[in-house]
Amino acid sequence: MNIGFVSTRFSGTDGVSLETLKWAEVLESQGHSIYWYSGLSDRPPATSMCIPEAFFGHPEIEWIAERVWGCNQRAAIVSERINEVTNYLKSTLKRFVDKFEIDCLVPENALTIPVNIPLGKAITEFLAETNMPAVAHHHDFYWERQRFSVNAIPDLLDTAFPPRLPNLRHACINQQGQEQLSLRKGVSSSLVPNVFKFDSEPPPAIDTWSADVREELGLAPDDIFVLQPTRIVPRKGIEHAIKLIAMLNNPKLKLIISHNAGDEGYEYQSMLEKLASDEGVDLRIIGDRVSEHRQYNHEGQKMYTLWDIYPHADLVTYPSLYEGFGNALLEAFYFKKPVLINRYSVYIQDIKPKGFQLIEMDGYVTHENVAAVQYLLDHPELQKQMVETNYELARTHYGYEALRTALTSLFPHTV
């Protein structure tokens, strides 16, 4: 089949873009051809259609968003603008389908989280009017985000995020999403968790480019590298990582955060920096040295990928308050690193029952957590046993072979 992925953005290292690439790779291996429709794209131009209004950051889309969130009534002009952009996007979807002779559409989170309301409405109407087969891949539902709780578009959320259509199949990344989708929308779905190349590619080792990471970050040879491999946003619970290191009371412990703050503001980062200073924790934010590709910056310094950073870490902290799944956790398993984790709901329901061995906190850091981390750091043989166990479990449950099996049932007409 010719399969068309549709989203507001296919670019960079956000979870939706990364997981879509994995789906595309597996589907191509099964004989399908892949095409891309989005508002921001780094996919091959020859197989892509990029429509600026499909991007959530387009001025027209932002104008609409400012007038429907945080209030419970929308003006008639807002409805008119939504309909105008919807009709335009629907016409571009038709062009996309006709140009690439698409057999099946795959909306990637575009019918899940309403960051581009006209795009979700356009996809819904297009599918209803054409009866084209489609598979909606759901990552983050609107009801999981507090900022969408007060709104002036309950009618659109009910009909398009996601819609109930006989030609539309649904795939969720966690059991909680499955249950809530069934409860709220009355539709069934397949469970397709996020995956990693555990069964096809070994984790990259330190090479000539990445050999000097610790030195470049200002770490001494005997420093203990604690990696927080996430963006700086409040739901990541990074204050707990700072508290852990403060309680360990070892000046050799350095907390390294791999990415900067961004679209959710810098207040949280400022709070973390003040907290680390007050607690005497050596906190280093290295987002200006981490890139999607190896390169030199304008100052002639090396830019490393996250894959260059992971092999140097001694411990990974993952104290998230909420995650749709937990890609960084899979990455830690892949690079065979011990992990301190907060027991967020998806971890409890979906991941923990598989038997993974982690140091678990339950909302806050306890003295027992601190003792467990210290014991683990002092006993390399225990670390090795834990990370090897986690790697094998992850390979079984979250490898490409598991994804291949799931997609075969979602897209039964494989070549």
Digit-coded pLDDT (tens) for 278-335: 999 999 999 999 998 999 999 999 999 999 999 999 999 999 999 988 889 999 999 9
Predicted pLDDT at 197: 87
Residues 302, 99: Cα–Cα separation, whole Å: 42
Tell me the percentage of the chain whose pLDDT exceeds 70.
98
Helix axes 59-66, 76-100, angle to 10 degrees: 140
276 vs 228, 258, 269, 271, 316, CA distance in Å?
Answer: 14, 16, 11, 9, 17
Q: Tokens 């909606």 appear where?
A: 136
Once rounded to an integer, what is the mean pLDDT over residues 165-191? 96
Once rounded to an integer, what is the mean pLDDT over residues 40-51? 96
Render pLDDT for 241-267 as a digit per residue (tens, 0 to 9). Answer: 999 999 999 999 999 999 988 666 789
pLDDT greater than 70 at residue 202: yes
Lowest-confidence region among 37-46, 130-139, 190-199, 354-363: 190-199
The CB density around residue 234, as the number of other CB atoms within 10 Å, is 16
Predicted pLDDT at 359: 98
Q: Tokens 């991007």 appear where?
A: 55
Residues 40, 58: Cα–Cα separation, whole Å: 10
Q: For residues 2-16, b (16+ Cβ closer than 10 Å) or e, as one string?
A: ebbbbbbbbbeebbb
Beta bridge partners of 38: 50
CATH of 213-397, one of 2.40.160.40, 3.90.1480.20, 3.40.50.2000, 1.10.3720.10: 3.40.50.2000
Once rounded to an integer, what is the mean pLDDT over residues 330-355? 96
β pairing state of 359-361 and 168-172:
unpaired
pLDDT greater than 50 at residue 185: yes
- Average per-residue pLDDT for the chain: 95
User: How crowded is the C-beta side of 200, counted as CA atoms within 13 Å?
Assistant: 13
Render pLDDT for 167-176 as a digit per residue (tens, 0 to 9). Answer: 999 999 999 9
User: How crowded is the C-beta side of 19, counted as CA atoms within 13 Å?
Assistant: 28
Predicted pLDDT at 88: 98
Cβ atoms of residues 37 and 6 within 8 Å: yes
- How far is C-alpha 271 from the geometric centre of its chain's CA atoms? 24
Predicted pLDDT at 414: 40
Helix axes 380-398, 327-334, angle to 10 degrees: 120
Predicted pLDDT at 361: 97
CATH topology for 2-195+401-410 is Rossmann fold (3.40.50)
Using pLDDT thresholds of 50, 70 and 90, give the confidence band for residue 394: very high
Predicted pLDDT at 415: 35
State the span(s) of the chain assigned CATH 3.40.50.2000: 2-195+401-410, 213-397
Q: For residues 108-133, b (16+ Cβ closer than 10 Å) or e, as one string?
A: bbbbbbbbbbbbbbbbbbbbbeeebb
- Name the DSSP class of 7: -
Tell me the percentage of the chain whose pLDDT exceeds 90.
91
Predicted pLDDT at 263: 63
Using pLDDT thresholds of 50, 70 and 90, give the confidence band for residue 413: low
Percent of the chain as helix, strand, coil, to the nearest 5: 45, 15, 35
Which residues, in sequence order, are CB contacts of 86 under 8 Å at separation 6+? 118, 121, 122, 125
Once rounded to an integer, what is the mean pLDDT over residues 355-379? 97
Using pLDDT thresholds of 50, 70 and 90, give the confidence band for residue 199: confident
Q: Is the pTM of this model over 0.75?
A: yes
Predicted pLDDT at 130: 97
